[in-house]
Amino acid sequence: MKIILSTRNPSKAEQIREIFRGSSFPILTLADIGIEGEAVEDGTTLEENALKKALFAHERAPQLWTMADDTGLFIEAPRVKPQPKMPYSPIFMPDGENQVWAEMTVEYENSISHRGKAFRQARVFLESL
């Protein structure tokens, strides 16, 4: 069963494909199957936005399963001109690490990140079906 990962982010796709490597679930992106556009992420929670992304892909390819995630930073700061989709990975270092996210290999990042943990659980669930 092919699965659409509702993203246009090549780094995210690479991370999740690595987690599913060797499984019977090929991970495709929106671009891989020719879906144009992106979901409108106007939810009030990360969960709502992830669901919006998954539904966006499902509505355009209902014969395939879909997955999505959403992450964010919540910083109390004065309101200034935010840049959409700014890559924060070069400036954040996880606790206990000596490298920022951008310096890590995909395999290592997957071993410690929230996304890696979540999609490993998704793989176990799908393989149990």
pLDDT-based confidence at residue 75 (cuts at 50, 70, 90)? low
pLDDT in tens, 11-48: 999 999 999 999 999 999 999 999 999 999 999 999 99
**Residue 70 annotated to the active site:** yes
Task: Write down all domains in the chain, each with its CATH number in brackets.
Answer: 3-126 (3.90.950.10)
pLDDT in tens, 114-129: 999 999 999 999 999 9
Choice among 32, 42, 69, 70 that is catalytic: 70
Sheet holding 3-5, edge to edge: 27-29, 3-5, 65-67
pTM of the model: 0.72
Whether 2 contacts 105, CB under 8 Å:
no
